[in-house]
């Protein structure tokens, strides 16, 4: 790595206008392993000016030119895919093989999907005598999170490019190194000058400057609901489009006819992925009251099979959480669960006994949880699951929807028609029936305070397009 202390602006690696550095912490050791440059409003101005200038020509490129660019990016990305996985493992603590195969693998998956979408997408069609045209929205500000860093970079940068937009990316300062490698990929692929720009910095400074910038036409933000509100407020003065993917508190409903051994085990495994640091994590497991004790035993066994430790070890299934702030928040919420009377089935506060440093959290299962408890209301963003018993289907649907969030929900049943009926009543943007494989073509986004707009595939592309009607395009 040679670009930690630079930004990528107008096709070149440049120093920040006012030099300032930030430590990048390895969460497995609690020690800094490098430093990055962080920027300010003047750096944002420089990047936006480059993007605005580039938009004049890039917005006029052909489908073929943009497809050729995406294919070059795919080729260069696959050369650096393990480098990106290694960076993600180091900077946010994901187990190394998981970071390489799954985290970095998402970049390849989104590239392949966006190429497929762009090959056939209809940017124009005639409706009666009117031409309906979908055109690039303009300069886009992209703010991405630390938990699935390259996934979120890919599902913002790629549709923006496919649409003909130009952009300024601000990755999370908690996971900045993979974004540097991504930017090296963009450079190696021959991305035209000014089309893609990347600056590092805090949300309070760089994110605020981007959101309020009069020459940015759209903000696409993924992160906490609290931060998303600030982005929307700062964007309001210039009436720019704001697309947001925010927090979640997803319900996982186990209907009475499921195989509980399989369904509970898969639910625990899905919850613990990425150390629970996923906005779609199935954090509230709803189970029939008369199966509650059985579910507790299965959940305990499943959670205790997770090996917590060094991300570099091939045996590790659960690495540390990202930083001290997140570690302390999770500890506070585990203690709140205990204090409010939930039954601690396994796990609890503090690190696992064999670890004396690093932001490691014990895989934790609570049972007997009620929907008014803090651990059932707040997004924990750690390896902590709440089991909530229910009496009947009407009650479980009401409880599952009783949240400010609406990003995802999960329904498990041996009867697919029954599962579909329950799924239709979930107030969530994504509903997963019987633990399906992921679908990068499915629209991804939420209801309520989980955000607005959709990402992935064709749906993601359309977020970066304006709609124009040319009336009288054809004679009546």
Domain boundaries, the chain: 7-246+450-470, 251-441
pLDDT in tens, 137-176: 999 999 999 999 999 999 999 999 999 999 999 999 999 9
> Does residue 277 contact residue 321 with C-beta atoms inside 8 Å?
yes
The pLDDT of residue 378 is above 80 = yes
Q: How far apart are CA 351 and CA 406, in angstroms?
A: 31
Token readout for 354 is: 């064999």
Token readout for 406 is: 């609406």
* Helix H or strand E encompassing 77: helix 63-92
Q: Looking at the domain 7-246+450-470, which fold is it?
A: Aldehyde Dehydrogenase; Chain A, domain 1 (3.40.605)
Token readout for 243 is: 């697309």
Q: How far apart are CA 462 and CA 72, in angstroms?
A: 22
Q: How far apart are CA 377 and CA 393, in angstroms?
A: 20
Count of CA atoms in the C-beta half-sphere (13 A) of 101: 5
The pLDDT of residue 192 is above 60 = yes
**Catalytic site residue from 245, 379, 458, 463:** 245
pLDDT at 382: 98
CATH H-level, domain 251-441: superfamily: Aldehyde Dehydrogenase; Chain A, domain 2 (3.40.309.10)
Mean pLDDT of all residues in 247-253 = 97
What is the DSSP annotation of 78-90? HHHHHHHHHHHHH
pLDDT at 345: 98
Mean pLDDT of all residues in 187-209 = 98
Q: How far apart are CA 342 and CA 219, in angstroms?
A: 40
Mark residue 54 as left, alpha or beta (left: phi above 0; alpha: psi -120 to 50; beta: remaining). alpha
Beta-bridge partners for 253: 286, 411
**Catalytic site residue from 173, 279, 379, 463:** 279
Mean pLDDT of all residues in 412-434 = 98
Average pLDDT of every residue of the chain: 97
Could you tell me which residues come within 8 angstroms of residue 357 by beta carbon, excluding any fewer than 6 positions away? 29, 30
The pLDDT of residue 437 is above 70 = yes
Token readout for 439 is: 């679908």
475: confidence class by pLDDT, cuts 50, 70, 90: confident
Q: How far apart are CA 185 and CA 195, in angstroms?
A: 14
The pLDDT of residue 1 is above 60 = no
pLDDT at 281: 97
Beta-bridge partners for 168: 141, 197
The pLDDT of residue 373 is above 60 = yes
Mean pLDDT of all residues in 105-117 = 98
DSSP state letter for 99: I
Q: How far apart are CA 305 and CA 255, in angstroms?
A: 25
Could you tell me which residues come within 8 angstroms of residue 90 by beta carbon, excluding any fewer than 6 positions away? 26, 33, 177, 311
Nearest 5 degrees, angle CA 251-CA 444-CA 222? 90
Q: How far apart are CA 158 and CA 116, in angstroms?
A: 12
Burial string for 212-247 (b: 16+ CB within 10 Å, else e) reads bbebbbbbbbbbbbebbebbbebbeeeebbbbbbbb
Please tell me whether residue 465 adopts helix, strand or coil conformation.
strand
Rg, Å, the chain Cα set: 23
pLDDT above 70: percentage of residues in the chain: 100
Residue in 184, 188, 156 with CA at minimum distance from that of residue 170? 156
49: confidence class by pLDDT, cuts 50, 70, 90: very high
Residue in 67, 57, 6 with CA at minimum distance from that of residue 193? 57
Q: How far apart are CA 365 and CA 385, in angstroms?
A: 5
Rounded to 10 degrees, what is the CA torsion of 345, 276, 284, 267?
Answer: -80
pLDDT in tens, 276-295: 999 999 999 999 999 999 99
Ranges assigned E (strand) in 137-240: 139-143, 166-170, 196-198, 218-222
Would you call 245 a catalytic residue per the annotation?
yes
Mean pLDDT of all residues in 238-243 = 97
pLDDT in tens, 336-354: 999 999 999 999 999 999 9
2: confidence class by pLDDT, cuts 50, 70, 90: confident
pTM of the model: 0.97
As a whole number of angstroms, the longest Cα–Cα distance in the chain is 78
Alpha-carbon separation of residue 63 from 44, 60, 70 (angstroms): 29, 9, 11
């Amino acid at each position: 790595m040679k670009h930690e202390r630079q930004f990528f602006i107008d096709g070149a690696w440049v120093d920040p206008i006012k030099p300032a550095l930030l430590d990048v912490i390895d969460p497995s050791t609690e020690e800094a392993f490098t430093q990055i440059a962080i920027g300010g409003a003047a750096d944002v101005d420089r990047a936006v000016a480059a993007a605005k200038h580039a938009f004049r020509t890039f917005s006029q490129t052909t489908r073929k030119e943009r497809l050729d660019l995406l294919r070059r990016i795919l080729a260069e990305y696959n050369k650096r895919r393990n480098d990106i996985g290694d960076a993600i493992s180091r900077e946010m603590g994901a187990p190394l093989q998981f970071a390489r195969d799954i985290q970095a693998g998402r970049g390849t998956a989104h590239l392949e999907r966006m190429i497929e979408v762009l090959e056939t997408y209809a940017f124009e069609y005639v409706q009666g005598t009117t031409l309906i045209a979908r055109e690039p929205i303009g300069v886009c500000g992209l703010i991405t999170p630390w938990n699935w860093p390259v996934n979120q970079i890919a599902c913002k940068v790629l549709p923006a490019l496919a649409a003909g937009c130009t952009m300024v990316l601000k990755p999370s300062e908690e996971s900045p190194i993979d974004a540097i490698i991504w930017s090296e990929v963009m450079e190696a692929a021959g991305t035209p000058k000014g089309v893609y720009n990347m600056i590092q910095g805090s949300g309070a400074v760089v994110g605020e400057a981007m959101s309020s910038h009069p020459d940015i036409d759209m903000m696409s933000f993924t992160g906490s609901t609290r931060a998303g509100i600030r982005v929307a407020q700062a964007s309001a003065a210039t009436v720019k489009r704001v697309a947001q993917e925010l927090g979640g508190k997803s319900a996982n409903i186990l209907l009475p006819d499921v195989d509980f051994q399989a369904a509970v085990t898969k639910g625990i495994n899905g919850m613990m992925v990425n150390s629970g640091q996923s906005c779609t994590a199935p954090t509230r497991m709803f189970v029939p009251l008369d199966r509650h004790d059985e579910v507790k035993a299965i959940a305990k066994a499943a959670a205790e099979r997770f090996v917590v430790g060094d991300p570099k070890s091939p045996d590790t299934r659960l690495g540390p959480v990202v930083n001290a702030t997140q570690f302390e928040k999770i500890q506070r919420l585990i203690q709140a669960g205990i204090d409010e009377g939930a039954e601690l089935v396994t796990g609890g506060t503090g690190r696992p006994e064999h670890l004396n440093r690093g932001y490691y959290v014990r895989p934790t299962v609570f049972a007997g949880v009620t929907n008014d408890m803090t651990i059932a209301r707040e997004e924990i963003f750690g390896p902590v699951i709440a089991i909530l018993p229910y009496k009947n289907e009407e009650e479980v649907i009401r409880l599952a929807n009783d949240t400010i969030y609406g990003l995802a929900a999960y329904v498990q049943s041996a009867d697919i028609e029954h599962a579909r009926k329950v799924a239709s009543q979930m107030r969530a943007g994504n509903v997963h029936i019987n633990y399906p494989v992921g679908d990068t073509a499915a629209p991804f986004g939420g209801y309520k305070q989980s955000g607005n707009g959709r990402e992935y595939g064709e749906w993601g592309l359309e977020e970066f397009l304006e709609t124009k009607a040319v009336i009288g395009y054809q004679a009546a």
